[in-house]
Structure formats: structure tokens, C-alpha cells
Copies of this chain bind each other. A is one copy, B any other.
Amino acid sequence: MQPGLQRGAPARRRVKRYEALAARVQGMIQAGTLPAGERLTSVRRMSRQQGVSVSTVTAAYRLLEARGLIEARPQSGYFVRASRCHRVPAPRVSRPSSRARVPQVWEVAQQLAEAARSDALVPLGNADPPDALLPAAGLMRRLRGLGREATRAVNYGNPLGEIELRTQIARRMLQAGCTLDAGDLLITHGCFEAVQLALRATCQPGDAVAVESPVHFILLQMLQVLGLKVVELPAHPRTGLDVDALAPLLERRRVRAVLCTPVFHNPLGAVIPPPRLRELVRLCATHEVPLIEDDVYGELGFGLERPPVAKAYDPDGWVLHCSSFSKTICPGFRVGWIAPGRFADAVRRVKFVTNFVTATPLQLALSAFLRDGAYERAVRRASRSYATTALRCRDAVARHFPSGTTVSDPQGGMVLWVGLPEGVDGAALYASALEAGISVVPGHMFSAQGRFRNYVRLAFPHPWSDALGAAVAELGRLATGLLPS
């Protein structure tokens, strides 16, 4: 199915000089090498030292300023801001029970999703890209450009999806370490449909599926409706799924499939490091258990490199890789894809009886959007915005939440996982936040076992603003008010 796969390290995306410089300085700040209050090397000197232009250094410093890491002081230059981030510890590694359970989250999840969507609330609940970051005009221009292909656009297309789009996606996936071609891909109505097809193609109702703990509640909703049980596995806030904990489950044939988000996990923002990820794929292949990979956030990294996906280490096709354009450029187009590996026939069957094929015109417009580089620009613009907001949001949590709070350090995506001090209930914070006009998601939603009761998830899709800052401060005050006396 996918010959000659899995050779290389992930391709480096073309990074502008100022971004690279900013990333290096940011690394030094975060490591504490450049402590709070430290004056940065002047623009001219940095330019000479690094052999780059003055405007490159200026752009890099401006980017770090936008991220809230440094501040300009009149006549004095740039200084490292007094961030409290490094003093807030990460949440602990989760330790869920390994019993299989039927998720029962539907009703609450629907209500929360409803609440998270309300326009009247400060939006820290919903993790969907805001209008401001979607390249709407450009996409509609590509759609208008289909006039010459009108007949093709309104009739049924290729059952696998339009070849132009599959080709563009295969090329793009090189950056994630995959050497697929168009024939390895099937276009779907979004990533969620891809994951659903993968589950229906590999599991029967009553089967158990292994997931990370915490796990996005929307996946729990899907598992519930499909009649599947879940086994939750420990996950590290920075390195994701605990692969060692999976091995005994597979040995005892306790799960039928593994459903996992190796890159920019929601809600942790974790990335499984390449050696562990390779080991995860090897383990699944050894036990002949399908690994369903949800990579919907994979393009939204804050760093210079696109982390490799599980599919990059999958010579035998046990990985069903799922993704879409819904978190990057066009949720409303409902276009995603699956690279189903050895399960291609079964996935095609389920896709066929679900809705035959995916809508033609949107695929054609998207392939043009990818081909001419507009996609790359839109994704980079969005990722830059999320990277900045992540730092600002994290800093605001560090400043305003009570002592004892823990917070994740996401490497991509648009969510923060916040652990509240002992005795503070996430659902209580959710409720008082809602009264104060702020939407968040309580932590217990992210487990079929009702775990994470002292957590909340903050989503930060919107560009940082004073209103968001004030809302995080208010959340901190509310959390403080909930401390047991």
C-alpha cells in the first residue's frame, strides 16, 4: 500500500531568518539562560554577531515582544519580561484506571459545546479557528476559479477523492515525515469522519479502544455513539502517551485499536518524541492492533520543525492516519483525509455506505489553494498567532491563578490544560466562569472515568487581546475564591 516509506527525518519547513532567530532567543529565555529583567543584546550588535541584517533582528525582537517574552523600554532597548511561566509546574502525568468503560459524556458535552459557542461569552471554551484567521477570501477566489470545470465540479468525482487534492496532500505530508502518494489517501468530510471511518473499519460495538488520558471529549462522544468502550492510558503533559503502559494491554489483547493524537494533543499540547512514537507503531504492528492517529492539529506547531507523525514510521500499514483542513483554513468545507494503510478496503467500504464520496467543488478549490502556496502562508500566519497567544495566555494564568496551579506548555495547537490547586473543583470554576460571561471546559469532560475534576481547559484560538487577558485574570480570581478555607 505504501512502498518505500518511512525513510527520512521530517522535512524542515522553509523558515524565515527572523523566525529562526526569535526561536533561538525564545529557547534561551525559556531555559532561563536569559532570566527575567535581563537586557537583550542590542539590535546592531546582534546583527553583527549573528551575521544577519538589522531588519531581521528587529523583526525577531518584535515577534518576541508580540509573544510577551520581551518588552521594549524607551531609550534602553529590549528586556526579558518578568514572566512567571517557568515557576508554574506542569500538570502531573495522568494515572487512570486500566478498566474499560463505556463513555457517558454525550449530554454534558453537547451542553458544553453549546455554551462554548455562545457569542455572548469571552471565548476560552471552543478550540476552533476564528473567522479572523481563516483565509476566506482566498478560498472563495479559488472556488470562483472553478467556472471552467463547472460540469466536473457538480457531478460525482473519484470515489477516493480528487486526484489533484490527494497529490497535494501527499506532498504536504512529506513535512510530517511521510512518503505517501495519492493512491494511499482517501478524502473524507473532515478529520472526524476519517476517525469515525477508521473506528468502524477496525472495531465492532462492544470492543475496547485505548486512548490517552486526558482525551478530547469529542472523541469520547464518538466512541459512546459507536458503542465502543475506552481504556484510558497515562499521558505525560509534554511527551504524551505512555507507550510502556500500552504494551501489557496489547499483550493481553484487551483493546481492539489504539486512538491517539501524537502531535499537539488536545488538551495537553504534548508531542510524542520520535523514538517513542516509532516504538508505539512497532508495538501496535507486533500485536497487529490498528493505530488510529488523529493529526488534526499537526500543522499548528509553534516551533521551527513539523514533528513527525506515527504514519512516518509505518512500513506495514498498521497506522490509519487522519487529518483535515478544519483546524487550519476552512472548517465549513468539511474536507479531510485518511491514509488507512492496510485497512484501505475496509475504510473504503464504510466511506461508500456513509456518503459515497466527498463533495467535488471544495476539493478542487482546496487543491488550487495548496498548489499555489496560499495554504502554507495561511497556516504559518495562524500558527504564529497561536504561538503568541499561547505564551500570553500561559503567562496570564501564571500571574493570576492561585499558588498550586499547574499548567501545560503546549508545543502547538490552541489549548492550555490547567490544573487547579487541591480542593478547587473544575466544574465549579466552569459554572462561576459562565456566570461571569467566560466560557471554559471543565476537566472531567476529558475522561470516561470522571477524572481531572480539578482541571479546566482554556482554548485560545482568538488573537490575544485585553479582553482575553482580563478574562484569564477573572478566572484566576474565581479560582482563588474557590480555594478551600
Asked if A358 is an interface residue, CB under 8 A from chain B, the answer is yes
Contact residue among B146, B189, B225, B333 (Cβ-Cβ distance under 8 Å from A154): B333
Closest to A194 in B: B355
A334-B357 in contact given A143-B143, A147-B140, A154-B139 (Cβ < 8 Å):
yes
Closest to A219 in B: B353
Q: Which of A94-102, A293-301, A303-311, A359-367 contacts B (4 or more CB under 8 A)?
A: A359-367
Q: How far is the CB of A59 from chain B (nearest CB, A)?
A: 29
Asked if A485 is an interface residue, CB under 8 A from chain B, the answer is no
Q: What CA separation (Å) do A219 and B444 show in the bound complex?
A: 41
B146 x A353 contact (CB < 8 A): no
In the complex, which residues of chain B have a beta carbon less than 8 angstroms from the beta carbon of A221?
Answer: 352-353
Q: How far is the CB of A185 from chain B (nearest CB, A)?
A: 17
Closest to A193 in B: B355
Q: What CA separation (Å) do A156 and B325 show in the bound complex?
A: 12
Contact residue among B147, B155, B334, B355 (Cβ-Cβ distance under 8 Å from A196): B355
A134 x B151 contact (CB < 8 A): yes
Which of A147, A329, A332 has most chain B Cβ within 10 Å? Answer: A332
Number of copies: 2
Asked if A450 is an interface residue, CB under 8 A from chain B, the answer is no
A192-B359 in contact given A106-B349, A140-B150, A153-B136 (Cβ < 8 Å):
no
Contact mask for chain A residues 255-276; partner B; CB cutoff 8 A; 1 contact, 0 none: 0000000000000000000000
In the complex, which residues of chain B have a beta carbon less than 8 angstroms from the beta carbon of A204?
Answer: 205
Contact residue among B136, B190, B335, B353 (Cβ-Cβ distance under 8 Å from A225): B353
A-B CB contact pairs (8 Å), 25 listed? A134-B155, A136-B151, A137-B147, A137-B150, A140-B146, A140-B154, A143-B143, A154-B329, A154-B331, A155-B330, A155-B331, A156-B331, A156-B332, A157-B332, A189-B355, A192-B353, A192-B354, A192-B355, A196-B353, A225-B349, A225-B352, A332-B357, A332-B359, A354-B354, A355-B355
